[in-house]
Structure 1
């Protein structure tokens, strides 16, 4: 990734406004924080070689922003990782196959373009009135794993952001009957590759603003986008409405994803409710500090709940 003067080629035409600079710094800061919090960058190998990441580019706003953030962090000496941008051309009808290669070449970005027809498989296996996303995603992920292994990468890096993670949480809650989402870092089933999401702390609205300001050549997903009424779209609209009615709510919910209380849920697999008895010793459940007090483990929350205090005040207010 060659640089032009004081910035990487990709950022040579970036806006110079104060507002954009603040946005750019915020995205960089959030990505660094996510990488630090979840230990995304491992140590160099025994022979001193740096880790290598396969950065997956779909041509959407999220993956363009991800690539720009990683390139700038590397350029600033804050990301000791080698990057390979990769686009998987899934042979969707009308896909503009020239856009990403031209973008990579113009910006001096190491890249791979891999064409594999998953479109025919998906449309053959899934009825037209059903959503394609699940099968399409599985096929794409398997191919990307293979490419990462061939390139000697330790991780594939995806552009999922805070809002994607919240949407997935509510999809699992409403339709899957479980509390789960997309983690910022996970290891694949074979145990040989990491899946990383450095934009886990970044809001979709910020990413959209950044992408528009950078004038990235966006490629829409016609395969998925042509289907109306997707459950994820419904969840997205719900979250957007909540944020509109109560600004900052999504940030609060995102913080909650990293602030769980197993003793205040209902999963006996991660908290031993059956053994709880007055005066009995309490084992610290997964995710809580070893020196946590018994009150923090099984009693009330450590700090009063703001909503609870407001409800109590209203209950006892003079009529």
Structure 2
């Protein structure tokens, strides 16, 4: 069975504790994994999502204190959007007022209600009111009522010079279909997928290129059911588009390859397997610092370098 859509989105944050507090308490997501950047183990890697860390619900961060802010520009993700029940937008608007969260006036986009806002480090986010999803399970830690809780990703909005070259990758390799246009936006949807099923491309020629920093999305990962599905996608990229990926990397909870798509956004293809319960039970996800086997011998050194965070903020 093909599994399409967004697997996860990875971004850059500032202070680690503030990141945990915002995403677990203000937005009500679950911290499903506390690990490190495998390539830079002096830095945390936090994963937030639903109760079990389902593909299509996972937003991850590399938090660095004193990180310079990023600059929005061509060749990056302009906005990352979550799904909420259509009737929950009013609740979230009031919550943002109470919590001092910077947000924009509500707009309509492709017939949907969109509430755009920013996290404490400038990441551009949105809540999209989706009808008929009230019965979907919503994770709650008591701060956000289950009936208005976030239900995974709606999608991402890419700011690119032109839509067609990237659209060709989305449609031929990643399981999306173009379904509509509205002004300078082109919408693609992953067939048979609700959570994380949307990619909007905002065509904006002449803008400055993006500068990566605090609040920037580092990469977007798209789903592959397993290694065989991932290998087939890699083969298509080479044969149909002349794009080569990295070698497969084992990220403990999924296996990944990476490539730059034609608009210069870093894309990842990640397997759905083995999932976030691979090294700790679902009931205790995110509680302990988890390290890959090759870093376990350095645990004491790594823990001494990582900033202290109070995980009661994620309760």
Structure with more relative contact order (C-alpha pairs < 8 Å, separation 6 or more): 2
More helix by share: 1
Higher-Rg structure is 1
Shared fold, TM over 0.5: no
Q: What TM-score comes out, normalization by structure 2 length? A: 0.27
Name whichever structure is richer in strand by fraction. Answer: 2
* Structure 1 length-normalised TM: 0.26
